[in-house]
């Protein structure tokens, strides 16, 4: 969410921020669920957050660090001594409730890492450390062991160290378990933050595929599953594994890929397609637009979710990643060189999905979709 | 909580970790509440956390930062490039439920800062940035505005910048609102982390007073208030302000005080007396002991809480700060110089509360109390 008034760069929100139209809600019939009807009132959230930010007036003296201005971006950044560090914080959201339903915890443990390091990656920072936060009703040894395995797998993929954490037993405060974390990254010698400031019209937008829903949109998905009485143990039509397992697949970790590209003069921007979907691109530049005229066919899982709720494309593309989890924006004349580099770094599957144009916002012309802002 | 097996320094726990004796529980009679009877099973928590940490095997390569070994300490630390950064994460815990009952949010907003920067202070790091996490059922403009005012006041006291945050509307996951944060600090040129490694027998333990319960022990306190049907709008005997307001007073921020002393060769250790009470001192050294033979008379609020539940001293001193919120340990021959410095830095009220001795653990000889370990 972009804050114009106050330079608090990464005060991000979990859910897609625009609620449109009047949702048709009939609990027993063919209900049309949206974030609003699933209980997430985003206009109220925006107003509340604006009120919080309005109260923040203090500016620390420069000997306590010099914040880097990049309002609304994926990570907060601050210069301390001779280094710039980047900080991101995010939770796994209500995906944990699906994990609980299925009794599988390794995937969401890994998500703690993914949701955070991918935001670091989007400013070109290299992840160094992570702290996790586990709020629970009661600590279960088996659950924690599985979370540990997932965390370990995520750390390995991101080449990141667990620096600590907080485990709170707060039965009066949470239902089940809440998983979150904060990641801290840095910029290796000579590398500047990648903010999108060097974007220009004509740049090519490359998309790196996701591996499912990652950790966004689960409040909505869970309502749909419930509403349609979906059997999580059975595969959806056309799939081979149980749909519960398919939905739970952990967030793909893009940080090593971005790390291999950040700092190159021909790499002009990154975006993590988390909560807000394609709207995340708007966070990169206020006066340039993003034309996504080669979006690949979304994987069948997304179309299946869409069919459960008869959701419009507009809602889908601003709630889910729709098949593309991370974006790299590149100077057109260096495209093949960057693609070779991407392939070596672990993303041979990157594909050109659009280009940068004059004007603002995000457009998917084939679907007639247009988003003017991030939030 | 000190992890011997795995070097995960700051995976801290919210509550005092030892449950002793068999609590006598009779809901209508003179119940004796402890953490165990108030719903926080700490042995189960320790086992679960050990299981999580056992699963963590990965070590990141040194070009992703070099972690500083200080197992069980107040903050995780990592060397990135030419600087060392410290990271702490903590929540306000169930104090938020009291805030909700009273409809007052500014205090707990300020606590988000205090609970985190005081842990940074305890390793001698200077706070640079904070990210907050707000999980809520529904976002309320008035609540968020008050939280913002509290955050602003805390940032001002800690000279810290809000770098971002996460606001999640997760009605299926929380009751009310959960407040947490992560603080990032650094070590100004020439300053090394203060870990307690330079402690030696004979050092003087100085205590800086707290301003109430800060943000620890509230699951227990709330049960006592409920059990005794305490009127939060009335003052407790001998007090002038409503007891609800007295309990809600925000955590005193010690980070500027510690910042003025850290790096001095005669300052050997710091401790933040948060969850775990006096046990926190054990985190500083494995083979030295802490003799607290001049503990001041605890402020009346603590004795009143104690009387509500007929809690033993042992439970009180490992759950609450009992009047001392932060500790500075000093070479004896430099005591007066350090005290002058403390007075100038904002702690003219620091007082000698004990000394460092051979052997391990924490002792309060006047009360016959002994604690062998942190967790």
pLDDT in tens for each of the 375 residues of chain A?
322 233 333 444 433 233 222 233 333 333 455 655 666 666 788 899 999 999 998 999 999 999 998 878 999 999 999 999 999 999 999 999 999 999 999 999 999 999 999 999 999 999 999 999 999 999 999 999 999 999 999 999 999 999 999 999 999 999 999 999 999 999 999 999 999 999 999 999 999 999 999 999 999 999 999 999 999 999 999 999 999 999 999 999 999 999 999 999 999 999 999 999 999 999 999 999 999 999 999 999 999 999 999 999 999 999 999 999 999 999 999 999 999 999 999 999 999 999 999 999 999 999 999 999 887
Residue A15 and residue B168: Cβ atoms within 8 Å?
yes
B53, B168: one domain: yes
Distance CA B326, CA B328 (A): 7
Which one of A127, A138, A139 makes the best mutation probe of the B interface by having the most chain B beta carbons within 10 Å?
A139
Residue where a domain terminates, one of A125, A156, A186: A186
pLDDT at B30: 40
Identify whether A263 is part of a domain.
yes
Nearest to B85 among A9, A85, A173 (CB): A85
Contacts of B179 (CB under 8 A, 6+ apart): B91, B92, B96, B108, B109, B111, B112, B132, B133, B134, B147
Greatest Cα pair distance in chain A: 61
Task: Give phi and psi for B78, each to the nearest 5.
Answer: -150, 140
A165, A236: one domain: no
Confidence of residue B69 (pLDDT cuts 50, 70, 90): confident
pLDDT at B45: 83
**In chain A, what residues touch B108 (CB-CB under 8 Å)?**
none
CATH number of the domain where residue A301 is located? 3.90.650.10
Residue A133 and residue B180: Cβ atoms within 8 Å?
yes
Residue B245, both tokens: 């307001």
| Percent of all residues in chain B with a pLDDT value above 70, rounded to a whole number | 89
Distance CA B73, CA B300 (A): 31
Domain boundaries, position B358: 204-371
Task: Give phi and psi for A212, each to the nearest 5.
Answer: 125, -155
Name the 3-class secondary structure at A107: helix
Question: B283-318, pLDDT tens digit by residue?
Answer: 999 999 999 999 999 999 999 999 999 999 999 999
pLDDT at A32: 53
Task: Taking residues B362-374, report their average pLDDT.
Answer: 95
Query: Do A362 and A278 meet the contact criterion of CB atoms below 8 Å apart?
Result: yes
Confidence of residue B329 (pLDDT cuts 50, 70, 90): very high
Residue A173 and residue B94: Cβ atoms within 8 Å?
yes
Among A343, A348, A347, A195, smallest CA distance to A268 is for: A195
Identify whether B256 is part of a domain.
yes
Confidence of residue B43 (pLDDT cuts 50, 70, 90): confident
Distance CA A247, CA A299 (A): 12
Query: Do A235 and A200 meet the contact criterion of CB atoms below 8 Å apart?
Result: no
Alpha-carbon gap: A94 to the closest alpha carbon of chain B (Å): 7
Nearest CA in chain A to B7: A163
Distance CA A187, CA A200 (A): 23
Is residue B221 scored above 70 in pLDDT?
A: yes
Q: Is the dihedral of CA A223, A229, A231, A235 positive or negative?
A: negative
Residue A82 and residue B80: Cβ atoms within 8 Å?
no
pLDDT at B39: 61
Contacts of B43 (CB under 8 A, 6+ apart): B19
pLDDT at B261: 97
Residue A10 and residue B63: Cβ atoms within 8 Å?
no
Residues in chain B: 375
Task: Label each residue of A42-70 as H, E or C.
Answer: HHHHHHHHHHHHHCCCCCCCHHHCEECCC
CA distances to A229, A237, B288 from A234, in Å:
12, 9, 59
pLDDT at B101: 96
Query: Do A116 and A149 meet the contact criterion of CB atoms below 8 Å apart?
Result: no
B171, B224: one domain: no
Alpha-carbon gap: A112 to the closest alpha carbon of chain B (Å): 14
Distance CA B115, CA A238 (A): 51
A164, A237: one domain: no
pTM of the model: 0.90
H and E: helices and strands count for chain B: 10, 14
Q: How far apart are the first and last CA of chain A?
A: 5
A163, A116: one domain: yes
A167, A300: one domain: no
Confidence of residue B99 (pLDDT cuts 50, 70, 90): very high
Residue B133 and residue A12: Cβ atoms within 8 Å?
no
Identify whether B11 is part of a domain.
no
Of A276-280, B39-43, B113-117, least confident by mean pLDDT is: B39-43
**In chain A, what residues touch B128 (CB-CB under 8 Å)?**
60, 64-65, 78, 80, 85
Identify whether A230 is part of a domain.
yes
A273, A365: one domain: yes
Number of C-beta neighbours around residue A276 at 10 A: 29
Task: Give phi and psi for B130, each to the nearest 5.
Answer: -135, 145
Identify whether B3 is part of a domain.
no
Which one of A80, A116, A176, A319 makes the best mutation probe of the B interface by having the most chain B beta carbons within 10 Å?
A80
B123, B161: one domain: yes
CATH number of the domain where residue B133 is located? 3.30.1330.10
Query: Do B148 and A51 meet the contact criterion of CB atoms below 8 Å apart?
Result: yes
Task: Taking residues B125-141, report their average pLDDT.
Answer: 96
CA distances to A25, A99, A230, A255, B176 from A72, in Å:
33, 30, 37, 20, 27
Name the 3-class secondary structure at B261: helix
> Angle A95-102/A106-121 helices, nearest 10 degrees?
160
Identify whether B331 is part of a domain.
yes
B277, B337: one domain: yes
pLDDT at A374: 82
Residue where a domain terminates, one of B186, B217, B248: B186
B124, B77: one domain: yes
pLDDT at A104: 98
Alpha-carbon gap: B46 to the closest alpha carbon of chain A (Å): 9
Nearest CA in chain A to B147: A52
**In chain B, what residues touch A14 (CB-CB under 8 Å)?**
166-170
Q: How many CB pairs under 8 A join A and B?
A: 365
Q: What is the DSSP string of A280-343?
A: GGGGG-SSEEEE-TTPPPPPHHHHHHHHHHT--HHHHHTTS-TTEEEEEEE-GGGHHHHHHHHH
Identify whether A47 is part of a domain.
no
Confidence of residue B37 (pLDDT cuts 50, 70, 90): low
**What's the distance, CA B303 to chain centroid?**
20
Is residue B18 scored above 60 in pLDDT?
A: no
Residues in chain A: 375
**In chain A, what residues touch B221 (CB-CB under 8 Å)?**
none
pLDDT at B193: 97
Task: Taking residues B126-152, report their average pLDDT.
Answer: 96
**In chain B, what residues touch A143 (CB-CB under 8 Å)?**
48
pLDDT at A369: 98
> How many domains does one find in chain A?
2
B263, B348: one domain: yes
The enclosing H or E element of B272 equals strand B267-272
Alpha-carbon gap: A155 to the closest alpha carbon of chain B (Å): 7
**In chain B, what residues touch A118 (CB-CB under 8 Å)?**
none
Q: Quickly tell me which residue has 């020439």 as its tokens.
A: B190
Distance CA A100, CA A111 (A): 14
Name the 3-class secondary structure at A113: helix
Residue A164 and residue B89: Cβ atoms within 8 Å?
yes
Nearest CA in chain B to A90: B166
Beta bridge partners of A354: A205
Query: Do A91 and B136 meet the contact criterion of CB atoms below 8 Å apart?
Result: no
Residue A52 and residue B145: Cβ atoms within 8 Å?
yes
Identify whether B126 is part of a domain.
yes
B104, B227: one domain: no
Residue where a domain terminates, one of B186, B216, B243: B186
């Amino acid at each position: 969410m972009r804050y114009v008034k106050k330079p608090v760069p990464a005060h991000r929100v979990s859910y897609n921020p625009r609620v449109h139209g009047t949702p048709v809600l009939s609990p027993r019939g063919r209900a049309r669920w949206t974030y609003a009807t699933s209980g997430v009132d985003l206009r109220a959230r925006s107003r509340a957050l604006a009120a919080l930010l309005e109260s923040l007036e203090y500016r620390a003296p420069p000997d306590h660090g010099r914040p880097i201005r990049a309002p609304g971006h994926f990570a907060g950044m601050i210069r301390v001594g001779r280094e710039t560090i980047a900080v991101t914080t995010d939770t796994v959201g209500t995906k944990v409730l699906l994990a609980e339903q299925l009794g599988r915890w390794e995937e969401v443990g890994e998500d703690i890492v993914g949701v955070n390091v991918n935001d670091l990656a989007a400013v070109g920072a290299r992840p160094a450390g992570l702290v996790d936060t586990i709020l629970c009703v009661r600590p279960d040894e088996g659950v924690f062991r599985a979370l540990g395995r997932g965390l370990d797998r995520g750390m390995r993929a991101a080449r990141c160290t667990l620096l600590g954490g907080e485990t709170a037993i707060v039965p009066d405060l949470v239902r089940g378990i809440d998983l979150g974390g904060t990641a801290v990254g840095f910029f290796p010698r000579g590398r500047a933050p990648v903010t999108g400031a060097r974007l220009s019209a004509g740049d090519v937008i490359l998309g790196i595929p996701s591996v499912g829903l990652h950790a966004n949109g689960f409040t909505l998905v869970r309502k749909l599953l419930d509403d349609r009485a979906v059997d999580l143990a059975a595969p959806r039509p056309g799939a081979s594994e149980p749909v519960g397992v398919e939905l739970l697949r952990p967030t793909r970790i893009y940080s090593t890929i971005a790390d291999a590209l950040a700092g190159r003069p021909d790499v002009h921007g990154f975006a993590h397609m988390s909560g807000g979907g394609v709207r995340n691109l708007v966070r990169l530049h206020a006066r340039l637009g993003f034309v996504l005229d080669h979006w690949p066919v979304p994987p069948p899982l997304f179309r299946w979710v869409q069919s459960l709720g008869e959701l419009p494309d507009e809602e889908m593309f601003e709630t889910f990643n729709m098949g593309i989890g991370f974006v790299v924006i590149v100077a057109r004349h260096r495209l093949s060189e960057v693609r070779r580099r991407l392939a070596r770094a672990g993303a041979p599957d990157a594909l050109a999905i659009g280009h940068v144009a004059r004007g603002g916002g995000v457009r998917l012309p084939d679907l007639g979709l247009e988003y003017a802002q991030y939030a």
